[in-house]
Amino acid sequence: MAGRGTAAVAFVCLVFLAASSAAAAAHVHDAAEHGVPQGLTRRTEADVRAMFDAWLARHGRTYNALAEYVHRFRAFRDNLDFVDAHNARAVQRGGFRLGMNRFADLTNAEFRAAYLGSSTAGRGRNAVGERYRYRAEDVLPESVDWREKGAVAPVKNQGHCGSCWAFSTVAAVEGVNKIVTGDLVTLSEQELLDCSRNGQNNGCNGGIMDDAFDFIVRNGGIDTEKDYPYAAKEGKCDLAKKARTVVSIDGFEDVPDDDEASLMKAVAHQPVSVAIEAGGREFQLYESGVFTGRCGTELDHAVLAVGYGTGTEADGGKDFWLVRNSWGPGWGEGGYIRMERNVTARAGKCGIAMFASYPVKNGPNPKPIPPAPEEKCDRYSSCPAGSTCCCTYGVRSVCLAWGCCPAKGATCCRDRTTCCPSEYPVCNAGKRTCAKSNGSPYTVDALPRTPAKRQRTAVSELVDSIFSS
């Protein structure tokens, strides 16, 4: 295997060395072919190869096959030509800049397929809220940045999963919770991926923020990121963690459609979930400045509007929206993009004013429930409150050792090591799953039992010695 890898690398080097000679001889023709501005010389193949190797090292990227390596290099080279041409024009005329970020080895089609996942098309709209509808007498701040007020958590990374809707939702709830309670608590996108299957939400295949807000309201809240961490893939809903409602909201509302002034009023009061069209090549490779690039209104990505303002002279003095993305801090301006504001289109830049919504929170979060009495299994054994006693070892009708199932009213499975919550009471010991009913396709993982707490007596010590030997 090692020999094959060495040969493959050598063959790649030979291919690119041969191509380099041809590219050097025809760089004038290539520059015109790729739309490079007059006077800008296209980089040589050797220069691009060196840049690509450095990019691979910086991003820790490796490929499993020679064909994949060649394909990625070609995509990188094409993107580099595009970036060079754009930035050359930006130097001459001013404007935003592009860069060779973590998406630089992807074609635009590959980028769209891997990272975009909002499902706003054809969605039913929630009742439009009137609290942020703009009126002529309203006086709004000239600029807002909720990061400065501690209402925005560090930028996160959705990975190869179309979960942007969950990140937008969670960030909006984190923001309003900070505003109302004074505490910034990072919350769980994974809970929404696994458990929010209402409406159009479909895990890594996309979803919408209104349905995610609705799930949080109906569930009574949402768990923390620390307790229910992100895995960048769908899993089975963890019912125990779903029940841990650390942060709650009272409802959600939509900003009036196609109204940048109302969106501005909403953002002046709290971070707002918005949907945009982010599938363009300029958006993919955005690096800095006020984005004025090409985009339409085919909404395919969910983000969070955390502020607005006006750019400097270097930015052409353009008004902008400050938008937090979920592609990690290495994309854009530390994970953010400034998008042009006050455009002629009513939908706003890239459709930002079309489907904006925000959570409503009126008071404190649910108080932790005081500890309840332990569950007594027998005279000497007990389990934590809210759990179920399950016999692990017994003789006829006498249980000698008890286990604890971490769910109230659970079914104790015959394998003596697992149990099933009351909502999924049918055990499948072989698969270690629990179903709603016999033959039901709706299952969750079986819950593991833990040993019950026992008072130390001569009898319990004898039982321990028997089962530990």
Which listed residue (101, 108, 201, 325) is catalytic? 325
Beta-strand ranges (E) seen in 343-395 are: 357-360, 375-376, 381-383, 388-395
Residue 184: how many other CB atoms lie within 10 Å: 15
> What is each CA distance from 58 to 53, 101, 242, in whole angstroms?
9, 10, 38
Q: Of 301, 377, 390, 427, which one is the catalytic site residue? A: 301
- 345 CA to centre of own chain: 29
> Rounded CA gap, 337 and 311, in Å?
12
The SS3 call for residue 458 is helix
Measured distance CA(330)–CA(335) in Å, rounded: 6
CA distance 171 to 120: 18
Tokens at 297, concatenated:
């209104």
Q: How many helices (H) and strands (E) does the chain have?
A: 12, 22
325 is known as an active-site residue: yes
- Residues 385 and 373: their CA atoms lie apart, in Å, by 6
Taking a C-beta distance cutoff of 8 angstroms, is the pair 80, 43 a contact? yes
Active-site option among 79, 87, 108, 164: 164
447 — alpha (psi -120 to 50), left (phi > 0) or beta?
A: beta
Pairwise CA distance, residues 306 & 175, whole Å: 9
How do 336-340 and 290-291 pair as beta strands?
parallel
- 199 φ/ψ sector (left φ>0, alpha ψ -120 to 50, else beta): left
- CA triplet 454, 458, 462: central angle to 5 degrees? 85
If you search the block for the tokens 């590219």, which residue do you land on?
23
Computed from CA positions of residues 45, 48, 52, 58, in that sequence, does the dihedral angle turn out positive or negative?
positive
Strand order, beta sheet including 450-451: 388-395, 398-405, 450-451
Annotation marks residue 177 as catalytic: no
Largest CA distance in the chain: 93
Residue 11: strand, helix, or coil: helix
Number of Cβ within a 10 Å radius of residue 68: 12
Short-list 267, 275, 243, 271, CA closest to 177: 271
**Annotated catalytic, 301?**
yes
Distance, in Å, from the CA atom of 287 to the CA atom of 323, rounded to the nearest integer, reads 13
Contacts of 430 (CB under 8 A, 6+ apart): none
Q: Which residues are catalytic?
A: 164, 301, 325
